[in-house]
Amino acid sequence: MSNAPLMPKATAVWLVENTSLTFDQIADFCKLHPLEVKGIADGEVAAGIRGQDPVTSGQLSREEIAKGEADANHRLNLFVSKIKVPEVKRQRGPRYTPLSRRQDRPNAILWLLRNHPELKDAQIMRLVGTTKTTVKAIRDRTHWNSAALAPMDPVTLGLCSQIDLDFEVQRAAKERPQQVVDHGPMLAPPEETVQPYYEPDHTEEEVFGKRVVPAAPAEDEDHFDAERVFGRLKDIDLDH
């Protein structure tokens, strides 16, 4: 339970107007900032808010206020009710949908069927507050307005919260059996594909014959004896 009083600003307005408590004491009791309490006293904050008497509501006693007025260092203690209100459990069943949102439910159902096909009909019914007949009609395209339906996110439409949608999706994923994907034949182990090495019975020369060594290439034309060539030209008689 929160340590702040109900309607903290309205309580601060009443304490400013009806007590001589300091701004720090009121701010500490109402869980407000001291400057915000000062703004309330100056009329700049909480204008138009009617003060709420914490004594009448049983959150503060007259004696506690008197102690605070007498001692500026005294911190006011909030009276906590000893009666525990039982927590309201959420009912499991179709969610109530406001009249203004009911026309959007078929679009939300179509969005859920397309984006989360793993959801069961009961889960869709809980999320958008519809009936099994409507879900089946939209899935089978037998709904009277199937041609005009457009998929819309139910969270955006305000039909359910993102937390509720994630919860139902995770539940459906857990209940859905895992599919084993066949990736085809796997690679065979090396011992099945690599042939063992055996020592050959015959040598390479016995099988293919003696290797023929090619003749040495002729002398490169770039390396020639210039004196020998030009010497022959001198012996040639150019006049004949």
pLDDT surpassing 50 at residue 1: no
CA distance 34 to 192: 83
- Encode pLDDT of 124-174 as tens digits: 999 988 889 999 999 999 988 888 899 999 888 888 888 999 999 998 888
Under 8 Å between Cβ of 154 and 160: yes
Q: Which two tokens stand for residue 20?
A: 């001589």
End-to-end Cα distance, the chain? 133
pLDDT > 90: percent of the chain: 22
Under 8 Å between Cβ of 119 and 168: yes
Mean pLDDT throughout 62-73? Answer: 90
- Note the pTM of the prediction, 2 decimals: 0.38
Under 8 Å between Cβ of 14 and 53: yes
CA distance 58 to 78: 9
Residues 6+ apart with CB under 8 A from 94: 125, 126, 129, 130, 131
**What is the model's pLDDT at position 161?**
87
**3-class secondary structure for 165-201?**
HHHHHHHHHHHCCCCCCCCCCCCCCHHHHCCCCCCCC
